[in-house]
Amino acid sequence: MKKYRAYAKVNIFLKITGSRDNYHEIISRFMKVKNLYDELEFILKEETDAKEGEFKIVGSFACATEQNTIYKAYFALKEATNSQSLENLMKKYAIKVSKNIPAFAGLGGGSSDAATFLKMCNSVLDLGLSLNELAAIGLKVGADVPFFIYGYDSANVSGIGEVVEEFNEELLNIETYTPQVEISTPRVYTVYREDFYNPIDGFKTDELKHTSSIEALKSMSADEANDLFKPALQEYPGLKDYYKSGYYFSGSGSSFFKILEDSV
Q: Is 250 annotated as a binding residue?
A: no
**Active-site residue, selected from the candidate residues 45, 56, 72, 144:** 144
**Active-site residue, selected from the candidate residues 9, 15, 32, 258:** 9
Q: Is 232 annotated as a binding residue?
A: no
Q: Indicate the SS3 state at residue 10.
A: strand
Active site residue 201: no
Q: Is 104 annotated as a binding residue?
A: yes
How far from the centroid of its chain's Cα atoms is residue 219's Cα?
25
- Which amino acid makes up residue 92? K
Residue 89: closest CA among 76, 79, 74: 74
Q: Is 109 annotated as a binding residue?
A: yes
Q: Is 103 annotated as a binding residue?
A: yes
Q: Is 112 annotated as a binding residue?
A: yes
Active site residue 144: yes
How far from the centroid of its chain's Cα atoms is residue 46's Cα?
31
* Residue 140, φ and ψ in degrees, nearest 5: -70, -20
Contacting residues for 103 by C-beta, under 8 A, at least 6 apart: 61, 62, 109, 110, 182
Q: How far apart (Å, rounded) are the C-alpha atoms in residues 232 and 41?
A: 35
Bind-site residues: 102-112
Residues annotated catalytic, as ranges: 9, 144
Bind-site residues for ATP: 102-112
